[in-house]
Amino acid sequence: MLEKLYSVEQNKFHKTIKICGIKFKVFDKKLMHLFVQGILEKESVFPERNIFLYSNLDKLTKEQKIWYLSQILYNNAGYFPNLKNPKTFNEKINWMKLNYYDPNQKNAIDKYEFKNYIKEKLGDGYTIPLIAGPFDDVNDIDFKSLPEKFVIKTTTNGSGVGVFIVKDKKRLNINKMKAELNNLLQDWKKAYYSTLAAGYKNIKPRIIIEEYMEQLDSNGLYDYKFHCFHGEPKFV
């Protein structure tokens, strides 16, 4: 199947992969195969997928974006979607990625701006307290001043990526933490370049540090999600 998705050209100096008619230089055949496979795999962590989309997204047609989202949805949901005539909830979410953008989405997506938005609408006390931030540079974080327990988050990564729970600061490898955060601050690491969800596109990558939330039992913090349609909660 992979052979049908890309073609390869080779000269004395490099090989060129062509995906959706777009050329992308690579220097190793195995790497090239992994790159294409990484685009389609269900839980790929292969970073070149984001780099490729970051570098070439403006060249992709709408039909090519539909191809990409359809492959991702098929691999995750087990059925091939119809994004031109969506019926299921998953199909409609992906249809919105292609056809809908509201600049106010950043107030719900950006983990820092979300706090300000909720404070403006509801007042204090409705979000997890902020200890420090936002930071544009990992070297601006004063780890010595932080409490023994805290949570570090990046503002533009989704699906749990960019969340680090620190329960004992003395055991924290600060240099490793800085390296991981610095990687996540890169613009091409935004969720936009793997999901095409437009709300993530124009959010500035930053770092915030929040209070560690304790819970009485030992099973961790409960996370309740209320899914609303047209302003009404339909399922939890």
What are 32-57's pLDDT values in tens digits? 555 555 544 444 444 556 777 777 77
Q: Quick check: bond before 129 cis, omega within 30? A: no
Residue 158 contacts by C-beta under 8 Å, 6 or more apart in sequence? Answer: 109, 191, 195, 197, 200
pLDDT value at 160 more than 80? no
Arithmetic mean of pLDDT over the chain: 79
What are 92-132's pLDDT values in tens digits? 999 999 999 888 888 888 999 999 999 999 999 899 999 99
